[in-house]
Structure 1
Amino acid sequence: MANIILLFLCLIIGILIQRIKAFPKNTSAVLNQYILFIALPAMALHYLPKVQLSLDLLLPASIAWLSFGLAFILFNILGKIFGWSKKLIGCLILTAGLGNTSFVGIPIIQALFGDEGLETLIIVDLPGTFVVFSTLGIITATLYSNQKKSNDGSILKKMLSFPPLIAFLVGISLAIFKIDFPEALSTVFKQLAITISPIALISVGFQLRFKTYSKHFKFLALGLFFQLILFPAIIFGIFYGILNQTDLVAKVCIIESAMAPMITAAILSNANGLKPELSNMMVGYGIPISFITIGIWYVIIEHIFI
């Protein structure tokens, strides 16, 4: 219960400080950079060396790839049928195809499943969401904004200089060789990782914006339907209907698949001129709505997964 209270309290704090002039407009950018460069890598370095590697981790790691791939196929097909612009298609692929598996996902998973759930979340998030964002996301933003293609070296450089990915590579290497950091250092990493939840939620709250009218509402509804209902239903069907898997890993994967749009993906969409208004709406409406849909998915899996 304390984690749930913390979740909503920090979100509200973020919304309230939008109105306080002492907080500059780039407050959320600074908080996000702290999470990406310090807290999230620390989390990876604490949990990953302790992970027992097995083939069972392949599905959690593939969730973001599956989500992005399905979004790419679906919105390209619909775009051709209805004559949508490339920028609209690209916006929907980026914002509906990438979930907020860290900034929003970490505090929610921690609140619902405790620290044990974070071990699966790390696998969903780092080799999944962040690698997809750093590769396919950048390529998509470039292609659908009619810019010149980024060369392979540029994309590879961006990937290998991304702190969470570096931490993932270090952590997974230690896991492979069954080596862990000294207890004191691992504890330091854990303490830094603890800061993710409150700071991430304050950052999310600070960025939330709502519009009462927009011509993009029908596309907003379509994008959120895919991300909050259709795709988690597919993941639910895979775990429950095909694999008959109902353990903690399955639960975390389903909840992670139901996360709201990734804030960083919306920023990338904005930076490339891919319908900035719709990108902001996907995040602004998607995050609060996702709290309701995630709650519904949680009730479903807790009643069915015994």
Structure 2
Amino acid sequence: MLLLLVCLTLGVLVARFAHPPMGLAQGLNWWVINIALPALVLELIPRLHFDPQLWFLVITQWLVFIGAAVAFRLLGNAWGWSRARIGCMTLMAGLGNTSFVGYPLLEALRGREGLALGVVADQLGCFVALAVGGVLVSAIYSGKTPRPREVVLRVITFPAFIALAAGAMVGALGGWPGPAEAILERLGATLVPLALFSVGLRLKLQFGGGQAAPLALALGWKLLAAPLLMLGLGLLAGVGGMVLTIGVLQAAMAPMISAAILCDQHHLEPPLANTILGSGILLSLVTVPLWSYMLG
């Protein structure tokens, strides 16, 4: 947790006072997405033993997204919101930061075992929800037509998704030899400091008029209501142990950075999206550890 806070704070300070080179955050994100994240997935997935309850990790991420889509469509229609605001609220409240913020938090709170389960929730749950549902929502609310071929290609060519499939095959064959596993562990270890430093570089709070109610609703769903509902679902379905804990914690993560980028690209109220993103990341550093403590 201390490393997480130091890296995040360092990113904020560098962005404000050190005049970092243009494109630094994008360069760090490239390393995290294309090198560190696949290496981490390749290291952890072969150690993961199949559990019939793993479905919970995937379905909860989709339910958080679908719940946000239904809730904010109904609220938006009732309160006369623009289509852009409804799309923004759906993306920001429905998609969680299960990798850049989620991985460091899970490792700090639940160790490597929890992190391995978090990879399943992220790659098979939240990432696919982003690639499929996120693209569809952003296209629909911006008046564009989604292209199914592009959605499918985005999923199957994502480096960490490829690493997930490769890691599962390696695990079935008995795992990595010692030297290969050590290399993957060292590369994967760069994810936490670089990801949080990059988040700090981009962290902005831009409160504007009329944002208080949407901000409270979006974060109320993402940080409180959604994980509470997923906890209830898990208990009713008989899910327990670490799978239940990680499923709830990943559902409780802050809004996703990529969701804010989609809002910016498709003109879905980018100022509101950035306010929800920055506020959500800061609040999640308190709320996610509280969820972890309550789950025991």
Q: TM-score range by the shorter chain?
A: over 0.9
Paired residues, what number? 296
Matched, 1:295 2:289: yes
Matched, 1:172 2:164: no
Deviation readout 1:35-76 (Å, 9 max, x if unpaired): 111111111111112211232111112221111111111111
Aligned mate of 2:209, from 185, 208, 214: 214
Matched, 1:199 2:194: yes
CA distance, structure 1, for counterparts of residue 265 and residue 91 of structure 2: 12
Matched, 1:13 2:10: yes
Q: What aligned pairs does 1:29-178 form with structure 2 within 5 A after superposition?
A: 29-147=26-144, 149-175=145-171, 177-178=172-173
CA displacement at 1:19 relative to structure 2: 2.2
Counterpart position of 2:251: 257
Deviation readout 1:66-125 (Å, 9 max, x if unpaired): 111111111111122222211111111111101001100111111111111111101111
Counterpart position of 1:184: 179
CA distance, structure 2, for counterparts of residue 109 and residue 223 of structure 1: 22
Letter paired with 2:188: A
CA displacement at 1:281 relative to structure 2: 0.6
Q: Structure 1, unaligned stretches of length 5 or more?
A: none
Q: Is contact 1:48-1:168 (8 Å) kept?
A: yes
Letter paired with 2:186: Q
CA displacement at 1:165 relative to structure 2: 1.3
Letter paired with 1:62: I
TM-score computed with the length of structure 1 as normaliser: 0.92
Deviation readout 1:172-218 (Å, 9 max, x if unpaired): 3334x344222211221111111111111111111111134432221
TM-score computed with the length of structure 2 as normaliser: 0.95
CA distance, structure 2, for counterparts of residue 32 and residue 197 of structure 1: 12
Counterpart position of 2:260: 266
CA distance, structure 1, for counterparts of residue 150 and residue 288 of structure 2: 37
SS of the residue corresponding to residue 115 of structure 1 reads helix
CA RMSD between the two structures: 1.5
CA distance, structure 2, for counterparts of residue 81 and residue 269 of structure 1: 22
CA distance, structure 2, for counterparts of residue 173 and residue 270 of structure 1: 38
Q: Structure 2, unaligned stretches of length 5 or more?
A: none
Percentage of identical aligned residues: 33
SS of the residue corresponding to residue 166 of structure 1 reads helix
Q: Is contact 2:53-2:239 (8 Å) kept?
A: no
